[in-house]
Structure 1
Amino acid sequence: MEDLAFQVLNPEEYQEVKKNINSKKSEREGFIETLKIILLQRLSEIQIEADVDGRAKHFYSIYRKMKLKEKTFNEIFDLRAIRIITNEVKDCYGVLGIVHTLWNPVPGRFKDYIATPKTNMYQSLHTTVIGPDGKPLEVQIRTRDMNDIAEYGIAAHWMYKEGKPSLSEKNVKVRWLELLSSWQDSALDPKEFVEELKYDLHEDEVFVFTPKGEILQLPKGATILDFAFRIHTDVGLKAKGGRINGRMLPLRTELRSGDQIEIITDKRTKPSPIWLRIVRTPSARQKLRSYFRKLKEENKKDLQQEAEFAAEITLNVEVLEELKKKPLAKPAKQIDLSAGKVIVAGLRGIPARLSGCCSPLPGDGIIGFVTRGRGVSIHKKGCATAKQQEQEESMRIITVEWDYGQSESIPVLIEVKSKDRQGIFMEIVKSISNTQTNIRESKASTDQRGNLVANFEVDVEHLDQLKEILSNLKQIPDVYQAHRIKN
């Protein structure tokens, strides 16, 4: 498919590569024939039946390598590849042993796609060796069935009539078709469906382990959150964080081959729209979009119930009259949440304000207090002001929770103390910006000891985002402290 596109889009370059390959055809065929004789002789000694054929690399693959390495055709040595086709899976590994005995393998170039197939069901052993002429030689080893899938795609699996496929093969086929079906159903835009399908077919992949030792295959760049959704939709929706090789890390952390991942869930966790920027796999993205679409429909019903708010909060006229007689503490500076960042008594859209005495963030445990004319005041659980009001005016307490379906950002003040050296302030600013965080305001000064004291007002959507910002700041050389301060 790549060669066909290459021929249409870059006809001149295509013809040039084709001409160069054809000019070396006789030389290549003679070399491959020599390899076949050597290999078939050794394989017959261990009673393995196999077919050996050689081929030049795909035209576009050669062209891309020339561009990336800025080399001419004659400077590209690893243009040849041989394919060895066996009857049984166990013979593939026997052939691999012979190949590595005959020629030295190139370190880091072996891939076992038989034990860990690609998402599109491709299976094969890949290795690169230094051939008898001292130049790199790519070798692919697979069974006849695997070769049919590689040549003709997943449809080849359904053409076999001899015997029943194994349970694992069935599972792979069913899973692939279910993925295609689910993506197509949930992708409203056909272009979106095609783009995400192309992403999943990408050849770069990572292989990671569950706590039970099971292997999962994910595209390169996949995160802890992608892993959680691959385990189960409910695990993804309730994911709080994850441990990679025993180390607790945020959901946005990218996975590497060989990692063992354990997902930490919390039934109180609710997905945030920011998660759509964290996930990399189409399946996880579609599950999140489905969740938010459903949430949006529920929100429409909630808006119709706003008129019943007075009844929901169970504050009658007598209670309100009694409250008027009691003096109220001077309110601290508050942040308006008119866009609806908090769900009050199960209802969205109720006016609420974040109290400046404790400056709660999404992810903090919170409680609400009904005020006169200013909506509901939101405090962190454990806030000294909140505790006092809870003791004196318990009838004002109301159930509140963060609305993770909303993406409204909240201004937060952070303070950074560091050694006052050249470039340190720009390093701090860059660290904050690298987390995709908007800086509203900044100011810097020095304290009595000559240390830099920098204050920033930043827009934060969730407590995890703030934790990431502070964690990154603390890793900057010569930074002594980085913490959140009251608004």
Structure 2
Amino acid sequence: MSQLEPILAGPTPAPDAELPDYVRALEAAAIYLPEDQRATLVRAWRVGAAAHAGQTRKSGEPYITHPVAAATVLAEQGVDIETLVAAILHDTIEDTPLTREEIASEFGATVADLVEGVTKLDKLQFRDRQEAAAESFRKMMLAMARDLRVILIKLADRLHNMRTLGAQSAEARTRIARETLEIYAPIAQRLGMNLIKAELQDLGFRALHPWRHAVLARRIRTQPVVRREALAKIEAQLAQRLVKEGFDFRLVGRVKSPWSIYTKMRAEGKTFTQVMDMFGFRLVVRSVPECYHALGVVHSVFKPVDGRFRDFVAIPKANGYQSLHTVLFGPYGSPIEVQIRTEEMDLIAERGIAAHWSYKHGGSANSAQNRAQSWVANLIESQRATGSSLEFLENVKIDLFPDEVYLFTPKGDIMALPRNSTTLDFAYGVHTDVGNHAVAARVDKRLVPLRTKLVSGQSVEIITAKSAAPKPQWLEFVVTGKARTAIRHQLKQLEHEDAVQLGHRMLDRALEGLGSSLDRVPQTRLESYLADHRYPRLEALLADIALGNRMPTQVAQVLAHRLPDKSDAVDLAFGARQGEKILITGAERGVVTFANCCMPIPGDDVMGYHTAGRGVVVHRTDCANLAEYRKSPERWVSIGWDREITGDYQVALRVEVDNRPGVLAQVAAAIAVADSNIDSVEYLDRDKNIAVIRFGIEVSDRTHLADVIRRVRRLGVVHGVQRM
């Protein structure tokens, strides 16, 4: 009698309300499937549960919870019903009396083939664990060549095993984690499945180095408030400009994972602060033309870093990934990474080959799937003559890391460097002193210049000379952070003289635009400026200008013109009077400032306070600080607003919103629609559900402010808005 007969002849399936929680979770994840197919999932669970009856995991849970959890992982990726059923049954042929034929008769030949493809990976006996892993890997690649869904099931199986790794012994945890980081996470990346890849890497890192993972995770969670506020302000500025250009978009800040930070710290020799000193955003728009339009918009908000733009839309990565990448000069001295893509590109970037089923059910395969099929086919074809499974595995490892090159030192040691690395990067990789004194190199015993790019498998020998020293041109072609840092350190002294000359030219050009020159600036004014800004001599100022630490136009404005003395008659700057009040027109910004404590705007009832060195400071009449200022009535100035007022005025809003990704961009967009500029963004409070954000914005008057508040209040994610 068939093993399935007693199972299928059993009691009527339990209604949904009586299903175990883990089955209900699978059904919820597979809600995109038709009702009859979801019923097939429940039937597959009944078959699997009966087949695995009496079997438990090391944690003590029924064994069936594992394959159902693996199927849930795949359902979250939106794969087809056959893959989900095969995932539920993927251990039955190996671990239960069920046969391939019985599964085929009940669920179809495709499901049976998938289950058998996964099962065969663990069937054979080997001399040692290393050979077993290598041969299993070869068989997995062969199975992938027949049907890529085999690897989807295997990746989901591995991901759930990693999530429940705590039940394993310490030795098993280390072995499984290392295998995950070396094989399965790179495969997921090669297939474009970045969501699964990222979780595999994080779990593998946590199992392999729990203390390091805990330290980095805690540092990420407790980032300085200043950084969070800077990230929010940049996001708001980008969103505001995109709205003004009429874009329909999603803008979300990207957070680095502990694993990505750890690998970057090790590979580039950076500290945690240096790695985190970069903001990242993902911008999703509607179409490919809008990707390029949006690129121009973000470049108009922040200037792009030369040489850091990559077009993976026109030339996709090997795994089908498409996106525009650009790096911008941030307002806080930190670079801003922006990825721009369409919704379809975003789906493929996160799910890779699995996006085929979720984006177009039954449609043609997407670019990630086509490229994955081609990669596997070419890999199998090129490795047919490989001598052993271990050799095959090592060759594939190189192919799985297309962003790295593997090189050999003269002693036969292996060095890994980023793609496009040069022989000079190799020299600094050996030792800083070797790089500083490098003059040439031998690649595979052939003499080549230091700018020669390297490819995997080459043997490199560096030729040095004691008299050699780094040159500024080296910075144009080195790739690694270690090389760049070492070269800059050596050049610092040599650069000072060049920087002074460049700064002199930049300042003179700025002065020429104001009808002056450095030679015509009075010596007393120049000495006063240097003393005020603590420069020991002119050369230090000029070098600072060349290095971008001080803007030449701002320096030129101070040196070329005598600034008005704020102690002069204030009335001259205020213009007309109306009764006893001095009327503000908005053109008196040099001698009139607006208090940060109450942020008055046109339309508010105001009073002025005369402050030494600052002119008149304007306060709202309901400002809490007035009680203190009333102690000096002689300093009060009666002021009001003129009928014609120019300029924009700062005001603060307290906005209570849902705490979820993308909300900040929505609020910023609403402010932009009201023609208001965002000056600052600060999180005042946040928990799991609600965030309270302070927006510093610019408005023309109270009517303008009311329009901004009205538009923000209409958003569904906003719970309350008030002026601060």
TM bracket (short chain):
0.3 to 0.5
Higher CA-based Rg: 2
Q: TM-score, normalised by structure 2?
A: 0.27
Q: TM-score, normalised by structure 1?
A: 0.39
Q: Which has the higher contact order (CA 8 A, sep 6+)?
A: 2
Higher strand share: 1
